[in-house]
Amino acid sequence: MNRIDNRFKQLKEKNKKALITFVTAGDPNFDATLQFIETMEEAGADIIELGVPFSDPLAEGPVIQAASERALKNGTKIDNVFAIVSKAREKTEIPLILLIYFNCIFKYGVNNFFKKCRESGVDGIIVPDLPFEEKEEINETAQEFGITVITLLAPTSKERMERIAKEAKGFVYCVSSLGVTGVRETFHKNLAEFVNEIHKYTDIPRAIGFGISTSEQVREIGRFCEGVIVGSAIVKRIGEADSVDNAVDSVKRFVAELRKALDE
């Protein structure tokens, strides 16, 4: 059993929900990313997504786009992200997932990419710009190296929902609203109905993301899924901090608040 499946199994046994957090690797620097991984785990994160910076992140809103720009200016490349994961693995067994665009995998070489994922300790990947129908381009190689490819499922995917849900691994990433990532006050009006419908086709955990930014939203949304994903609200705090120490402190306090809300 891989780390992702094992973590959800442990949480289910404790009747708890997964708190999945996101930061952009290399923002504001490599050492800071390692600190964020450590401090988010300490504050109660169960799974951590690391965004691989990309010059044209189509699914991302302005907050994560800005973080990618900062990381790219620091010279962050895929090999740096693998190095961060390898270093993190010296201290932690928390599941680590890369959010990466397909062009980056293609340029790196699909076989080489998944080989490095396994060697460094990556557990899964999310490829937001790779349509479900084209996942076969990476699925076989990912399975060969034991890397879980996480599937995104949006409220607009009703005709394809059954097929997507039945083939999902790790967890289903349920997109809470249409458009790009970013802090939001409102979500798809039939979100609970959408997430519940997925359970007709699979028992795999369902984690909701895109725009979740407050303790109140985490508490409410956590009632009808197995996991909640928070990204832009964390990255925003990192971008606004005037030092790494203050960014780490801000992220730690925020993640602890989210953990408390999810457990209530």
Give the 3-state secondary structure of residue 229. strand
Q: Which of 111, 166, 116, 247 is nearest to 255 (CA)?
A: 247
**Which of the pair, 194 or 182, is modelled with greater confidence?**
194
- The total number of structural domains in the chain stands at 1
Instruction: Give the length of the chain.
Output: 264
State mean pLDDT over 177-197: 62
Give 62-78 pLDDT, tens digit per residue: 899 999 999 999 999 99
Give 102-130 pLDDT, tens digit per residue: 999 999 999 999 999 999 999 999 999 99
Q: How confident is the model at residue 97 (pLDDT cuts 50, 70, 90)?
A: very high
Res 186: pLDDT: 46
Counting other chains too, the contacts that 9-17 makes at CB distance below 8 Å and 24 or more residues apart are 11/46, 11/226, 12/226, 16/262, 16/263, 17/222, 17/225, 17/226, 17/227, 17/228, 17/262, 17/263
State mean pLDDT over 210-233: 94
Please answer whether residues 105 and 63 qualify as being in contact, where contact means their C-beta atoms are separated by less than 8 angstroms.
Answer: no
Q: What are the residues facing 24 on neighbouring strands?
A: 51
Distance CA 162, CA 157 (A): 9
pTM for the structure as a whole: 0.94
Give 141-180 pLDDT, tens digit per residue: 999 999 999 999 988 777 789 999 999 999 999 997 644 4
Check which CATH number belongs to the domain holding 101 and give it.
Answer: 3.20.20.70
pLDDT at 56 over 80: no
Element of type H or E holding 218: helix 215-221
- Planar angle of CA 209, 48, 9, nearest 5 degrees: 85
> By residue range, what is the domain housing residue 220?
3-263
DSSP string, 20-51: EEEEETTSS-HHHHHHHHHHHHHHT-SEEEEE
% of the chain at pLDDT higher than 90: 80
